[in-house]
Amino acid sequence: MENELILKDIHKQSPDGVHLLNNINLNLSPGTKLSVLGPSGSGKTTLLRIIAGLESFDSGTLFFNGCSIKNIPPHKRNFGMMFQDYALFPHMNVFENIAFGLKMKGMDKPLIESRVKIMLEMTGLSKFENRHIDELSGGERQRIALARTLAPEPGLLMLDEPLSSLDRAMRTRLLTELTQIIARLKITTIFVTHDHEEAFAAGSRVIILNEGKIEQQGTRDELINAPKNQWVKDFLRMV
């Protein structure tokens, strides 16, 4: 199926034999908004890095668009990943940051300009085009990071704890903004967080990771009303 992401029995061990990911099965139809929720060290980033091709795995299969992508290098997968610290280029202005991936793709200048404009409008950043990164607030930087990730029209969007570097008040406000933008996108999205409120706001389906295993998955109501075991119950109550 077009742009369907399938993970079949993915395993990864650390060099000293610890299971970082164990028996991960996932099936994301195009447009799915999935949240990956789990405590620190549960394997969330490792899972995203494997999907992005930044990290290897020991066994299992990873399919996108009907094909195994194990041997496809990260830059050829056309997946967008937004990191916790945004990883913006401080020496470039907003326009240049968003245009970067398009230049790398060898896109024509007029096309780059129109694509960057669309991204700026979509994220409400049009008036910041010529600003430098260090002249922007945390929330504005986050939107630029999102615009830069979306500019090359990735087939899959992955966000790794996109709100964790912001203070509490800002996080609440930006969660709403960010989830509204994501909801409007047709693109399949994986949102990683250790905060269950964020997970439920960003994804219509949530998987809970615990020590590299999927402990439970479902909708918000399914998880809250019918936690599968004591660990899930405690984890959802905890934060």
44 binds ligand ATP (CB under 6 A): yes
User: Which helix H or strand E contains 209, and what residues bound it?
Assistant: strand 205-210
Please state, in angstroms and rounded to a whole number, the distance separating the CA atoms of residues 141 and 19. Answer: 35
Q: How many residues bind ligand ATP (CB under 6 A)?
A: 11
- Residue 101, binding choice from ligand ATP, Mg ion, none, Cβ under 5 to 8 Å by partner class: none
We find the least distance from the C-beta atom of residue 212 to ligand ATP, in angstroms, to be 7
We find the least distance from the C-beta atom of residue 79 to ligand ATP, in angstroms, to be 17
- Burial string for 200-236 (b: 16+ CB within 10 Å, else e) reads bbbbebbbbbbbbebbbbbebeebeeebeeeebeebb
- Burial string for 4-22 (b: 16+ CB within 10 Å, else e) reads ebbbeebebeeeeeeebbb
We find the least distance from the C-beta atom of residue 84 to Mg ion, in angstroms, to be 7
The pattern of x and - marking residues 21 through 60 that bind Mg ion according to CB under 5 A reads -----------------------xx---------------
* Whether the Cβ atoms of residue 84 and residue 141 lie closer than 8 Å to each other: no
46 binds ligand ATP (CB under 6 A): yes
Which residue, 17 or 73, has its beta carbon nearer to ligand ATP?
17
Q: Which of 14, 25, 137, 176 binds ligand ATP (CB under 6 A)?
A: 14
Separate counts of helices (H) and strands (E) for the chain: 9, 10
| Torsion sign (Cα): 219, 222, 225, 231 | negative
We find the least distance from the C-beta atom of residue 1 to ligand ATP, in angstroms, to be 28
Binding-site ranges for ligand ATP (CB under 6 A): 14, 20, 38, 40-46, 194
Q: Which residues bind Mg ion (CB under 5 A)?
A: 44-45
